[in-house]
Amino acid sequence: MHWIDPTSLPETRGKVTRFLLNPHGEVDGLIVGSRQVHFPPHLSKQIVRHVTPGDVVRVRGIRPRDADMIAAVSLTTASGVVILDEGPHLKGEKHHKPDVKRKPMDASGEVVLSLFGPKGELRGALLDDGTSLRMPPHAAAELADYLTPGVHVHAWGHGVRTRHGRTIEVDEIAELVDAPEAP
């Protein structure tokens, strides 16, 4: 979002609780407090170089109408490093998706947060064990009832695990009807 002046946007401050991964294993978001912060994967290397879970960051970005998330334009670390989205082709660089081997994976747990794309489109869910469930927007729209906080699900698909987390590109998902009740 290189055309937007980040200083004109509202600022959100908070503690980073976890990284979010896209289906290619790249970091493309953070959980700051209890809110998703999305940024493009071409910023992944900068983010993981300068931010770790537990850090307090300042984020300036755009909040889509229908999603409680922020599409980040800039992020300032606790040490004052400013990471600015200047678009994917800064200085002639081209972003290459990593060549990762996704493996069959499954996960089950309680949905703690719905996950959105940069324009506020539903794209998946975050489970209580930190696993990101990802899917295309059209599939997520059809499965929205499964991606709502408080719902217990089991999902199957192909995924990747890195030192920053685990994500599964969902092929199948089911609600767990025998999930433990909250006390």
Same domain membership, residue 69 and residue 46: yes
Question: Which among 90, 78, 19 has a CA at the least distance from the CA of 48?
Answer: 19
Answer whether residue 127 is part of any domain. yes
Residues 85, 125 within the same domain = no
Name the 3-class secondary structure at 30.
Answer: strand
Mean pLDDT of 125-132: 96
Predicted confidence (pLDDT) per residue in 154-168, tens digit: 999 999 999 999 999
Cα→Cα distances 9→35, 61, 87, 116, Å: 17, 6, 17, 20
- Average pLDDT for 95-111: 84
Judge whether 15 lies within some domain. yes
98, pLDDT greater than 90:
no
Name the one residue in this structure whose structure tokens are 């081997």.
Answer: 101
Q: What is the dihedral of CA 64, 77, 19, 177, to 10 degrees?
A: -60
Q: Which residue has the higher pLDDT, 175 or 1?
A: 175
- 82 with 116, same domain: the answer is no
63-94 pLDDT per residue, tens? 999 899 999 999 999 999 999 998 766 555 55
Last residue of a domain, one of 61, 92, 123: 92
Model confidence at 178: pLDDT above 90? no
Average pLDDT, the chain: 90
Residue 4's pLDDT is 82
- Domain end call among 42, 66, 92: 92
- Percent of the chain scoring above 70 in pLDDT: 90
Q: Is 69 left (phi over 0), alpha (psi -120 to 50) or beta?
A: beta
**What's the CATH code of the domain at 71?**
2.40.50.1010
For 144-153, write each residue's pLDDT tens digit. 999 999 999 9
Do 87 and 15 lie in a common domain?
yes
Burial class of residue 36 (count of CB atoms within 10 Å of its CB; 0-12, 13-18, 19+): buried
Which CATH number do you get for residue 110? 2.40.50.140
Q: Are residues 112 and 47 located together in one domain of the fold?
A: no
76 and 19, same structural domain? yes
Q: What is the pTM of this model?
A: 0.87
Q: Check whether 129 has a pLDDT greater than 60.
A: yes
Look at residues 92, 122, 147 and tell me which one is the last residue of a structural domain.
Answer: 92
Whether residue 183 lies inside any domain: the answer is: no
Beta-ladder partners of 125 = 114, 133
In this predicted model, which residue has the larger pLDDT, 170 or 101?
170
In a domain, 5, yes or no: no
Q: Is residue 4 included in any domain, yes or no?
A: no
Give the tens place of pLDDT for each residue, 8-36: 999 999 999 999 999 888 999 999 999 99
pLDDT at 97 over 70: no
In the chain, the number of structural domains is: 2
In this prediction, residue 102 has a pLDDT band, given cuts at 50, 70 and 90, of: confident
Domain that residue 142 falls in: 103-175
